[in-house]
Amino acid sequence: MRTERLAADAASIARAAEILRRGGLVAFPTETVYGLGARADDARAARGIFEAKGRPPGNPLIVHVPDVASARALADGWPADAERLAQAMWPGPLTLIVARRPDRVAGVVAAGGPTVAIRVPVHPIARALLDAVGLPIAAPSANRSTEISPTTAEHVEKSLGGRIDAILDGGPTAVGIESTIVDVTRSPARVLRPGHVTAEAIAALVPVQAAAGLVTAPAERAPSPGTHARHYAPRAQVALVPAHAVRGELDRAAQAGSRAGAVEYGSRTATGPHAELLPGDPAGYAAALYAALHRLEDAGCDVIVIAAVPEDPAWDAVRDRLTRASATP
Ligand code: AMP
Ligand code: MG
């Protein structure tokens, strides 16, 4: 299949909407990462996402809609906590889990489960596309399953070129890591995946159950299937070590004959030829992380040494992604 590369102008958005309406697959930018979209009301279209990504059918998809009213229409009941969070945080990088209306969201989208994950993105291209399609669009990250999420159209092309109908190019994404996921099917709500919208911000709005063992929940016990240990991972072997131990780890890898790259942050001097120095604040770090991992992968690094980030809650989302990138398969 030839993958059309579309600049994000009005004509391209109309073209992308047309492809989606007839059941095709289109990657598009959101504020978090690029999503791979298909009709959420059409089982055949949504199955295409799983095929293109090589995604296990047990891992459900997030459905994107343009506004709160469209979200309510997909839910079998709309809890007060959902309304509260939606009014405060949408459009934005927050996903809500609610009971699913089976007549509106295909079972395959929800991996056969009784719930559905819904999000209203804030990115102007995503919003224009959703408005133009006029249908709920299922869209997980636009990468092959378990690989690094894409934050540019080039990342999507590298991973899914030839497997999908089109890529809408909106430049690099701003948040850089996947949305915060909150289960509001019961109260207190549960944060299933940390993200740019912090657990603290959620807890200021609705009662939240304290998260325990979130980051390393094994697949079979994970409350949210994509939260299993290994995810968002480069093909290289990833070592997450204290900042002071990065140089020693790089030396060890080099002696073993590996091509090793490093990811450090803040005011440290980057170490070695394949070194990425990321911003020292969590939002800046998150925005830059996946592009850095893609570059190290493209440079042929077979070992990536990452300096551990602070234990502070402000770093929860970044720490979650680093822990999973470094988990053994
Ligand atoms: P991605 O957009 O690639 O991060 O994938 C979407 C993620 O959303 C999945 O990996 C799941 O963790 C989560 N998700 C989607 N639907 C549900 C659901 N109904 N219940 C719990 N988690 C979900
Ligand atoms: Mg993903």
pLDDT at 273: 83
What mean pLDDT do residues 75-89 have? 98
Cβ(279)–Cβ(265) under 8 Å?
A: yes
* Nearest ligand atom owner, CA of 232: 2
Ligand 1 atom with the smallest distance to the CA of 140 is 2
* Nearest ligand atom owner, CA of 62: 1
Cβ(117)–Cβ(134) under 8 Å?
A: no
User: Which among 28, 29, 26, 35 is positioned nearest to 3, based on CA atoms?
Assistant: 26
Residue span(s) of the chain under CATH 3.40.50.11030 come to 237-325
User: What pLDDT digit, counting tens, does each position of 3-45 carry?
Assistant: 999 998 999 999 999 999 999 999 999 999 999 999 999 999 9
Is the sign of the CA dihedral 61, 139, 69, 287 positive or negative?
positive
Tell me how far the alpha carbon of residue 145 lies from the centroid of ligand 1, in angstroms.
Answer: 13
CATH number assigned to the domain with residue range 237-325, chosen from the 4 options 3.40.30.10, 3.40.309.10, 1.10.287.130, 3.40.50.11030? 3.40.50.11030
- d(CA 274, CA 254) in angstroms, rounded, equals 12
- Mutation pick for ligand 1 pocket among 36, 55, 59 (CB with most ligand atoms within 8 Å): 59
Q: Is the pLDDT of residue 79 over 60?
A: yes
- d(CA 174, CA 288) in angstroms, rounded, equals 9
pLDDT at 212: 47
The answer regarding whether domain 4-210 maps to CATH 3.40.462.10 reads no
Token pair 């300096």 is found at 307
Helices (H), the chain: 10-21, 43-53, 68-72, 80-89, 124-133, 153-160, 199-203, 246-255, 282-298, 316-325
Banded pLDDT at 232 (limits 50, 70, 90): low
Banded pLDDT at 172 (limits 50, 70, 90): very high
Please, what's the b/e burial string for 260-297 (b: 16 or more CB within 10 A of its CB; e: otherwise)? bbbbbbeebeebeebbbbbeeebbebbbbbbbbbbebb
- d(CA 41, CA 206) in angstroms, rounded, equals 30
Token pair 């969070």 is found at 85
Cβ(279)–Cβ(289) under 8 Å?
A: no
Ligand 1 atom with the smallest distance to the CA of 227 is 12
In the 8-state DSSP scheme, what is residue 315?
G
Q: Is the pLDDT of residue 181 over 60?
A: yes
Q: Is the pLDDT of residue 186 over 60?
A: yes
Distance of CA 52 to the CA centre of its chain: 16
Tell me how far the alpha carbon of residue 21 lies from the centroid of ligand 2, in angstroms.
Answer: 23
Tell me how far the alpha carbon of residue 198 lies from the centroid of ligand 2, in angstroms.
Answer: 19
What mean pLDDT do residues 108-117 have? 97
- d(CA 284, CA 96) in angstroms, rounded, equals 25
Tell me how far the alpha carbon of residue 13 lies from the centroid of ligand 2, in angstroms.
Answer: 23
Known binding site: residues? 32, 55, 59, 64, 115, 119, 139, 141, 149, 179, 193, 232
pLDDT at 225: 55
Cβ(62)–Cβ(38) under 8 Å?
A: no
Ligand 1 site, CB within 6 A: 59-62, 97, 110, 113, 115-117, 140-141, 178, 181, 192, 224-227
Residue span(s) of the chain under CATH 3.90.870.10 come to 4-210
In this prediction the pTM is 0.94
Tell me how far the alpha carbon of residue 223 lies from the centroid of ligand 1, in angstroms.
Answer: 10
Known binding site for L-threonine: residues? 32, 64, 119, 139, 179
* Nearest ligand atom owner, CA of 115: 1
Tell me how far the alpha carbon of residue 308 lies from the centroid of ligand 1, in angstroms.
Answer: 26
* Nearest ligand atom owner, CA of 219: 1
Phi first, then psi: give them for residue 211, nearest 5 degrees.
Answer: -80, 135
Counting residues of the chain whose pLDDT is more than 90, the rounded percentage is 88
pLDDT at 221: 40
Burial of residue 172, with CB atoms counted within 10 A of its CB: 0-12 exposed, 13-18 middle, 19 or more buried: middle
What mean pLDDT do residues 265-286 have? 91
Banded pLDDT at 329 (limits 50, 70, 90): low
Alpha carbon separation from 9 to 24, 40, 102, 162 (Å, rounded): 19, 24, 34, 22
pLDDT at 210: 75
pLDDT at 269: 76
- Mutation pick for ligand 1 pocket among 65, 76, 97, 100 (CB with most ligand atoms within 8 Å): 97
Q: To the nearest whole number, what is the mean pLDDT of the chain? A: 93
